[in-house]
């Protein structure tokens, strides 16, 4: 027989390469179990079900005619490789399993953010591991298509054996598998059916497919709500000033990025990371115990600024009460109106994205608006402390160095906080100079665990790890002297609420209080700033762990 390029290896090589392609997807889960052996008892069942998925994906290659079999191995083996690299990269970086939040972040991240993310997390070790996995898949595919398959009888026998083992496992999963699909209520009127992760969905291909299905289902619901905001205009109209209160002319809401309050000297961090705010602390009402709902930008901001009932953006509450609303973001415009944050803010009167510049570039935009006549409400989304930290501040803020405690990662994070301190105090100064009724509210979208829980390990943020620092955010409000004078009783009530246990959901309720407005949707029990606020049990992470963290009292002022 003539040796053609397609016949370079024998049946043993064929079998070995087939098996390698089936087993390589086990790598991410194996890596997770090697890191933490506490739930080792699940490793066996997970491998069994991963084996079933791999078998079902690769079985057609055993039965198809050779030319189709080769095409099958290239396409399906390649797909398995890409899925394994995606899930494996996440597992190697964070020590956590791929989940819906990770999927949403991947789907809503543009090329610039992805590049920064890779540069931040792709250590030489992780890259070497990824290269090894990729090489494994490539070798498996090349050897398989260039080898002579075993005789038809052998292949049929293997297929029948695999089919029997799979049928047993699938039957077992159906019998004992618990919840496979679950109904999730997104609003009182709308539910979606989600696919729940269980053993049989930890294979990278099924894990990604399941996350994608769940992501699409929720994402489409929210996009529809945002696009339909016009339909809800009527129910958001009619906010009126509280009798006897004076609505401020200027409201600035600054949404921070990835700032964890444990790194703020305003909250007692030993490094002077917020010297300018520390100096002005006497004029700030600093909240000691605010946490976010999710350690992810889009979900956190959605929970703050859309209605609890139906996820309708709350901006028209204010614009229909006489405020011109502005969304200024130092972050990237995700474009097209198809991505959630971009779609969510479409009902702001003015929207502007600065696409990854330093945060100080927001200041001229804010300055122009505060100088304009009429009531103005500005939402300023910082780039704050988004990874990579050292890209977030100009070199003159390179104050903390690697030689300080915690190494270069912690130092660059702290420098980004130092820079945020300057931007925030610049904005306050801008308002103060106006000598009119104004206020500035600041809260970060979520925290980040920058060597806080484990000094030896950078945990970043992940909903399955869900450590406290991923949720503990800085939060304060500054009132101009004019605002304080005109709304003295309210300001006193806010000062009394500083140690309140709050989870940042329905922030628009507190913003109605700040604007001194009342509306049928207003519910004081949900407002951080209302004397009638009701504390609730706070849960964090995908497992809904009850948050029991300690407050971090402000050490300056009061
Ligand atoms: Zn964020």
Query: pLDDT digits over 502-550, tens only?
Result: 999 999 999 999 999 999 999 999 999 999 999 999 999 888 899 998 8
- Ligand 1 centre distance from Cα of residue 342 (Å): 14
- Ligand 1 centre distance from Cα of residue 273 (Å): 20
CA dihedral 296, 318, 420, 346 (to 10 degrees): 50
Please answer whether residues 323 and 251 qualify as being in contact, where contact means their C-beta atoms are separated by less than 8 angstroms.
yes
- Ligand 1 centre distance from Cα of residue 8 (Å): 52
- Ligand 1 centre distance from Cα of residue 420 (Å): 14
- Ligand 1 centre distance from Cα of residue 258 (Å): 5
- Ligand 1 centre distance from Cα of residue 534 (Å): 27
- Ligand 1 centre distance from Cα of residue 298 (Å): 7
Residue 89's H or E segment, with its range, is helix 66-94
pLDDT digits (tens, 9 = 90+) for 343-361: 899 899 999 989 889 999 9
| Length of the chain in terms of residues written | 558
- Ligand 1 centre distance from Cα of residue 6 (Å): 50
Contacts of 241 (CB under 8 A, 6+ apart): 247, 516, 517, 518
pTM for the model: 0.84
Local structure of 183: helix, strand or coil: strand
How confident is the model at residue 2, as a pLDDT?
A: 43
- Ligand 1 centre distance from Cα of residue 162 (Å): 45
The Cα–Cα gap between 501 and 528 comes to 9
- Ligand 1 centre distance from Cα of residue 324 (Å): 25
Phi first, then psi: what are they for 441, rounded to 5°?
-110, 130
Note residues around ion ligand 1 (Cβ under 5 angstroms).
257, 297, 445
Which CATH number does the domain 237-546 belong to among 1.10.150.170, 3.40.720.10, 1.20.120.450, 3.40.50.2000?
Answer: 3.40.720.10
- Ligand 1 centre distance from Cα of residue 470 (Å): 10
Residue 62's H or E segment, with its range, is helix 43-63
| Segments in 177-290 forming alpha helices (H) | 204-227, 233-236, 275-279
- Ligand 1 centre distance from Cα of residue 254 (Å): 13
- Ligand 1 centre distance from Cα of residue 473 (Å): 11
**Domain range summary for the chain, segments of one domain joined by +:** 5-176, 237-546
pLDDT digits (tens, 9 = 90+) for 105-116: 888 887 777 888
Question: Distance from CA of residue 146 to its chain's centroid?
Answer: 44
pLDDT digits (tens, 9 = 90+) for 186-207: 777 777 788 877 777 889 999 9
User: Around Cβ 390, how many Cβ atoms within 10 Å?
Assistant: 18
Q: What's the whole-number average pLDDT of the chain? A: 91
pLDDT digits (tens, 9 = 90+) for 418-467: 999 999 999 999 999 999 999 999 999 999 999 999 888 888 998 888 99
- Ligand 1 centre distance from Cα of residue 425 (Å): 21
- Ligand 1 centre distance from Cα of residue 157 (Å): 53
- Ligand 1 centre distance from Cα of residue 149 (Å): 51
- Ligand 1 centre distance from Cα of residue 238 (Å): 32
> Which tokens sit at 264?
């703020």
Cα Dmax for the chain: 98
């Amino acid at each position: 027989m003539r040796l053609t390029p397609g016949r370079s290896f024998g049946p043993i090589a064929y079998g070995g390469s087939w098996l390698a392609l089936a087993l390589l997807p086990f790598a991410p889960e194996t890596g997770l179990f090697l890191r933490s052996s506490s739930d080792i008892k699940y490793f066996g069942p997970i491998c069994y079900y991963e084996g079933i998925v791999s078998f079902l994906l690769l079985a057609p290659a055993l039965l198809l005619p050779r030319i189709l079999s080769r095409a099958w191995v290239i396409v399906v083996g390649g797909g398995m490789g890409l899925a394994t690299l995606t899930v494996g990269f996440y597992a190697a970086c964070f020590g956590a399993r791929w989940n819906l939040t990770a999927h949403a972040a991947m789907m809503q991240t543009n090329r610039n953010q992805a590049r920064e993310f890779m540069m931040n997390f792709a250590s030489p070790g992780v890259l070497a591991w990824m290269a090894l996995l990729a090489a494994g898949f490539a070798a498996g595919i090349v050897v398989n298509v260039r080898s002579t398959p075993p005789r038809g009888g052998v292949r049929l026998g293997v297929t029948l054996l695999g089919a029997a083992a799979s049928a047993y496992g699938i039957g077992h999963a159906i019998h004992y598998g618990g919840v496979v699909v679950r109904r999730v209520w997104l609003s009182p009127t709308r539910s979606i059916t989600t696919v729940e992760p269980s053993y049989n969905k930890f294979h990278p291909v099924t894990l990604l497919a399941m996350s994608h299905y769940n992501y699409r289902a929720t994402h489409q619901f929210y996009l529809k709500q945002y696009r339909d905001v016009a339909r809800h205009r009527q129910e958001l109209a009619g906010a009126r000033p509280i009798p006897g209160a004076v609505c401020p002319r200027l409201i600035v809401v600054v949404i921070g990025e990835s700032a964890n309050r444990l790194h703020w000297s305003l909250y007692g961090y030993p490094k002077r990371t917020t010297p300018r705010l520390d100096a002005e602390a006497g004029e700030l009402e600093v909240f000691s115990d605010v946490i976010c709902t999710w350690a992810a930008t889009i979900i956190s901001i959605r929970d703050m600024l859309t209605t609890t009932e139906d996820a309708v953006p709350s901006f028209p509450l204010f614009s229909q009460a006489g405020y011109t609303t502005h969304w200024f973001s130092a972050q990237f415009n995700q474009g097209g109106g198809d991505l959630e944050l971009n779609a969510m803010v479409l009902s702001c009167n003015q929207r502007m994205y600065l696409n990854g510049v330093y945060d100080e570039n927001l200041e001229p935009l804010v300055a122009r608006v505060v100088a304009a006549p009429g009531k103005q409400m500005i939402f300023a989304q910082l780039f704050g402390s988004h990874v990579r930290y050292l890209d977030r501040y100009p070199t003159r803020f390179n104050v903390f160095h690697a030689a300080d405690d915690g190494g270069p990662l912690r130092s660059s994070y702290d420098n980004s906080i130092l820079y945020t301190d300057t931007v925030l105090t610049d904005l306050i100064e801008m308002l103060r100079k106006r000598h009119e009724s104004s206020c500035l509210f600041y809260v970060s979208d979520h925290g980040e665990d920058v060597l806080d829980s484990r000094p030896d390990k950078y945990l970043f943020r992940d909903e399955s790890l869900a450590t406290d620092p991923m949720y503990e955010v800085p939060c304060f409000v500054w009132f101009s002297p004019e605002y304080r004078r005109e709304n003295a009783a309210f300001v006193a009530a806010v000062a009394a609420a500083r140690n309140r246990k709050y989870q940042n959901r329905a922030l628009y309720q507190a913003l109605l209080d700040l604007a001194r407005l009342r509306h049928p949707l207003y519910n004081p029990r949900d407002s951080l700033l209302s004397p009638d606020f009701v504390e609730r049990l706070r849960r964090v992470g995908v497992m809904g762990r009850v948050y029991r963290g300690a407050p971090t009292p402000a050490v300056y002022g009061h």
